[in-house]
């Protein structure tokens, strides 16, 4: 960095420089992008906590308990996305990026109003809301990082993604806290999340206007090139045509099988916790069977909501600390490719310990370590992998990978859980050992991604 650049740095540049290396003039847009992902993750974790309470506290649905239904519902999302991803790709080819973002946000906010009205009217929405949130959440987050990788160069992304992602870590801490405070108002929290996303939409438009102004400044009075339209090639076609992209897709499938199976193990622990905290015998004074069942159900929903609120808050606090103080330094000293291996190594040790030792306390510690690393370092690595790719890959292939292939991991996890429960009679420790075997394959896939990433980065640098 030159002496002249140092003199031109603002106080905001200097402050944000505590977390990552910023050049003069980058801080305002970085702060706006930080705010944007903060709002998205805040809204998501409000809704995710609501979702857990609805699905786990609603008793048996379709003849299945909440924990098992949750993992099968995740598999359903993958098949729904087979139709949604091509439609999204077609829309992305027809409108510019800010219109794509605006349409998406308006659709999400409108859906939340509908869920609120149906829930208040007594319509059972637990399963529909679970499916909807599972699809919408991955699209919103994928869209944000597609936009970020579009407006920043590969060199900027490697420096700035770490500090931008701190906003997501903070939002993931705040969201569960808001949900805990409003645990008595389950459906009202949907409107709170919708309002948060409304502010997010305004932020997107502000960033877009600033980017247009900066483009004019950089052009020094010359005509500014219009945003080039994307090709008509679909996201799935892009993924299967490029080895680098399908290796990333395969990595996400394997990582999600591991994580979703782990969430199933945790959901069983949470359900047992709720039953033990709210036993049927505590409501013996209520004579009417229906009233007694409703009271038990409501209190168990509250216990599960509070449990997940506390769990998410701890995971996301640790995720924030990793994101704020470690990720940029890991990128600087070992690089994106080496960072690929941190999460699978941690997960390998975590599930190995769960399988060998077991126990509720160890489970909570292991899942906290896995999830906090996943939501911070691994998430940033995933986004940085797309920096050397084309715009089509960033918007279309990334959408396909971060939605369909992530949920395909859920579908495979659902199949493995079904076989494990109903055919092999697995206990929770057996599922943990199954994860160990999958993680070993995941590590070999990461080696392939690292090799392809090196080739792409060297080619783009020429």
pLDDT band at 200 (very low <50, low <70, confident <90, very high): very high
Quote the pLDDT of residue 195. 95
Q: What angle do CA 433, 439, 445 make, to 5 degrees?
A: 155
- Identify the burial level of 375 via C-beta atoms within 10 angstroms of its C-beta, where 0-12 means exposed, 13-18 middle and 19 or more buried: buried
Quote the pLDDT of residue 235. 83
pLDDT band at 357 (very low <50, low <70, confident <90, very high): confident
Structure tokens at 355: 């399988």
Per-residue pLDDT, averaged over 155-175, amounts to 86
Does the pLDDT at position 419 exceed 70?
A: yes
Per-residue pLDDT, averaged over 432-456, amounts to 96
Phi-psi region of 304 (alpha: psi -120 to 50; beta: other; left: phi over 0): alpha
pLDDT band at 263 (very low <50, low <70, confident <90, very high): confident
Instruction: Name the residue among 441, 261, 217, 444 with its Cα closest to residue 355.
Output: 261
Strand partners, 61: 64
Percent of the chain clearing pLDDT 90 (strictly above) = 35
Q: Residue 9: helix, strand or coil by DSSP?
A: coil
Assess contact for 253 and 416: CB atoms under 8 A.
Answer: no
pLDDT band at 224 (very low <50, low <70, confident <90, very high): very low
Structure tokens at 325: 């103080």
Does the pLDDT at position 212 exceed 80?
A: no
3-state helix, strand, coil in the chain (%, to 5): 85, 0, 15
pLDDT band at 253 (very low <50, low <70, confident <90, very high): very high
Structure tokens at 359: 């126990």
Computed over every residue of the chain, the mean pLDDT equals: 83
Does the pLDDT at position 5 exceed 60?
A: no
Structure tokens at 80: 């729904």
- Over the stretch 130-139, which tens digit does the pLDDT of each residue have? 889 988 988 8
CB atoms near residue 281 (< 10 Å): 5
Does the pLDDT at position 226 exceed 90?
A: no
Phi-psi region of 359 (alpha: psi -120 to 50; beta: other; left: phi over 0): left
Quote the pLDDT of residue 29. 85
Can you tell me the distance from the alpha carbon of 295 to that of 298, in angstroms, rounded to the nearest whole number? 5
- Over the stretch 6-51, which tens digit does the pLDDT of each residue have? 445 667 666 766 666 777 667 788 889 999 999 999 999 899 888 8
More confident residue, 407 or 194: 194
More confident residue, 435 or 230: 435
Rounded (10°) angle between helices 27-57 and 126-151: 160
The answer for residues whose C-beta is within 8 angstroms of residue 264's C-beta and 6 or more apart is 67, 68, 70, 71, 413, 417, 431
Can you tell me the distance from the alpha carbon of 262 to that of 259, in angstroms, rounded to the nearest whole number? 5
Can you tell me the distance from the alpha carbon of 186 to that of 50, in angstroms, rounded to the nearest whole number? 6
- Over the stretch 305-354, which tens digit does the pLDDT of each residue have? 777 778 877 887 888 889 888 998 899 889 999 999 999 999 999 999 98
Per-residue pLDDT, averaged over 50-79, amounts to 66
CB atoms near residue 357 (< 10 Å): 12
Per-residue pLDDT, averaged over 422-427, amounts to 90
pLDDT band at 2 (very low <50, low <70, confident <90, very high): very low
pLDDT band at 220 (very low <50, low <70, confident <90, very high): low
Does the pLDDT at position 266 exceed 90?
A: no
Instruction: Name the residue among 147, 83, 141 with its Cα closest to residue 108.
Output: 141
Per-residue pLDDT, averaged over 65-89, amounts to 75
Instruction: Name the residue among 378, 273, 332 with its Cα closest to residue 21.
Output: 332
Per-residue pLDDT, averaged over 102-110, amounts to 94
**pTM higher than the cut 0.85:** no
Assess contact for 152 and 48: CB atoms under 8 A.
Answer: no
- Identify the burial level of 219 via C-beta atoms within 10 angstroms of its C-beta, where 0-12 means exposed, 13-18 middle and 19 or more buried: exposed
Instruction: Name the residue among 457, 450, 91, 401 with its Cα closest to residue 238.
Output: 401
Percent of the chain clearing pLDDT 70 (strictly above) = 84
Does the pLDDT at position 62 exceed 60?
A: no
Best-predicted range by mean pLDDT among 182-191, 206-215, 239-248, 408-417? Answer: 239-248
Structure tokens at 78: 């993958």
Does the pLDDT at position 94 exceed 90?
A: no
Strand partners, 64: 61
Quote the pLDDT of residue 4. 44
Class of domain 21-461: mainly alpha
Quote the pLDDT of residue 1. 45
Domain locations along the chain:
21-461
């Amino acid at each position: 960095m030159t002496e002249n650049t140092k003199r031109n740095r603002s106080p905001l540049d200097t402050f944000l420089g505590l977390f990552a290396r910023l050049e003069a003039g980058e801080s305002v847009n970085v702060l706006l992008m930080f705010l944007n992902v903060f709002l998205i993750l805040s809204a998501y974790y409000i809704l995710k906590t609501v979702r857990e309470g609805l699905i786990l506290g609603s008793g048996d649905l379709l003849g299945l308990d909440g924990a098992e239904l949750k993992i099968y519902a995740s598999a359903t999302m993958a098949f729904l996305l087979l139709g949604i991803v091509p439609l999204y790709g077609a829309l992305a080819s027809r409108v510019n990026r800010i219109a794509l973002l605006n349409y998406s946000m308006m659709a999400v906010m409108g859906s939340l109003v509908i869920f609120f009205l149906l829930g208040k009217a007594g319509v059972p929405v637990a399963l529909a809301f679970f499916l909807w949130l599972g699809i919408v959440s991955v699209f919103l987050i994928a869209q944000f990082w597609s936009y970020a990788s579009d407006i920043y160069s590969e060199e900027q992304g490697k420096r700035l993604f770490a500090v931008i992602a701190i906003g997501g870590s903070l939002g993931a801490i705040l969201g569960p806290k808001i949900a805990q405070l409003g645990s008595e108002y389950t459906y009202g929290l949907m409107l709170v999340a919708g309002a948060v996303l409304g502010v997010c939409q305004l932020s997107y438009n502000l960033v877009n206007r600033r980017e247009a102004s900066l483009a004019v400044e950089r052009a020094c009075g010359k005509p500014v090139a219009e945003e080039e339209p994307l090709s008509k090639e679909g996201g799935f076609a892009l993924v299967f045509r490029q080895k680098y992209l399908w290796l990333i897709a395969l990595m996400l499938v394997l990582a999600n099988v591991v994580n979703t199976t782990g969430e199933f193990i945790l959901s069983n622990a949470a359900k047992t916790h709720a039953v033990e905290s709210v036993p049927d015998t505590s409501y013996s004074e209520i004579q009417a069977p229906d009233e007694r069942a409703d009271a038990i159900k409501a209190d168990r929903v509250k216990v599960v909501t509070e449990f997940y609120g506390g769990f998410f808050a701890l995971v996301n606090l640790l995720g924030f600390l990793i994101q704020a103080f470690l990720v940029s330094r890991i990128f600087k000293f070992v690089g994106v490719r080496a960072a690929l291996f941190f999460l699978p190594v941690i997960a390998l040790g975590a599930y190995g310990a769960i399988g060998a030792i077991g126990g509720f306390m160890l489970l909570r510690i292991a899942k906290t370590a896995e999830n906090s690393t996943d939501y911070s370092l691994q998430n940033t690595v995933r986004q940085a992998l797309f920096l050397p790719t084309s715009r089509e890959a960033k918007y279309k292939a990334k959408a396909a990978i971060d939605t369909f292939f992530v949920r395909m991991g859920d579908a495979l996890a659902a199949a493995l859980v079904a076989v494990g429960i109903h055919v092999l009679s697995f206990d929770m420790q057996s599922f943990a050992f199954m994860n160990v075997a999958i993680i070993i394959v995941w590590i070999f896939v990461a080696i392939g991604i690292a090799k392809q990433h090196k080739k792409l980065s060297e080619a783009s640098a020429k």
